[in-house]
């Protein structure tokens, strides 16, 4: 899985700007995901190659659209941690908030040695009303959560003026 991730990052011209250990960390994350998936339904994708392509590299593709250095991101309805954890691995200065599956995500972040990342368990529409969350993030992401109209209602309240909502809605 590590070599496939490395090759994919290189093909997207992202490898030079990512930490040397990123492909290994992403592969380890994939291994932990598949291990936990045996007892908890985290993903329907269970082949290591497809995890690398459809989870890790798909998340990394967001780096082509924006500069994440020293920014903040909330990953609404993150589920198994996509795209938030891969983005944190690829851009260590990114401050990430993950919304959902907090116990497992906290364990994974600790095992991967990730700092500047927090997991919260709250309904997105309620958490957006909490001071320090509304209009506070440079980026909001969501993947496989809801249709675009609902995603806008859930995610846009988190984005500060000049920030971006990155809705991962298709392979295109």
Q: Which residues contact 131 (CB under 8 A, 6 or more apart)?
A: none
Instruction: Tell me phi and psi for residue 31, to 5 degrees.
Output: -65, -45
pLDDT the model gives residue 103: 86
The DSSP bridge partners found for residue 164 are 139
The DSSP bridge partners found for residue 143 are 168
Cα separation of 39 and 62, whole Å? Answer: 30
Output the average pLDDT for the chain. Answer: 93
pLDDT the model gives residue 78: 87
Which pLDDT band, with edges at 50, 70 and 90, does 16 fall under? very high
pLDDT the model gives residue 87: 97
Instruction: Tell me phi and psi for residue 103, to 5 degrees.
Output: -65, -55
Q: Per-residue b/e over 145-171, b at no fewer than 16 CB within 10 Å?
A: bbeeeebeebbebbbeeebbbbbbeee
User: pLDDT by residue (tens digit) across 99-134?
Assistant: 877 888 999 999 999 999 999 998 899 999 999 999
CB 87 within 8 A of CB 62: yes
Place of tokens 């209009």: 135
CB 63 within 8 A of CB 89: no
User: pLDDT by residue (tens digit) across 29-46?
Assistant: 999 999 999 999 888 899
């Amino acid at each position: 899985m590590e070599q496939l991730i490395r090759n994919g990052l290189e093909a997207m011209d992202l490898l030079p700007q990512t930490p040397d250990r990123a492909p290994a960390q992403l592969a380890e994350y994939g291994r932990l995901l598949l291990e936990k998936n045996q007892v908890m339904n985290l993903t329907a994708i269970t082949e290591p190659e497809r995890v690398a392509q459809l989870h890790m590299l798909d998340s990394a593709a967001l780096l082509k659209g924006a500069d994440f250095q020293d920014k903040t991101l909330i990953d609404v309805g993150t589920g198994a941690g996509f795209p938030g954890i891969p983005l944190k691995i690829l851009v260590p200065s990114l401050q990430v908030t993950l919304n959902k599956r907090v116990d497992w995500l906290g364990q994974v972040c600790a095992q991967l040695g990730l700092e500047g990342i927090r997991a919260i368990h709250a309904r997105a529409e309620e958490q957006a009303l909490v001071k320090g969350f509304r209009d506070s993030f440079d980026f909001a992401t969501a993947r496989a959560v809801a249709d675009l109209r609902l995603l806008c209602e859930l995610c846009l309240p988190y984005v500060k003026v000049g920030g971006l909502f990155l809705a991962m809605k298709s392979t295109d």
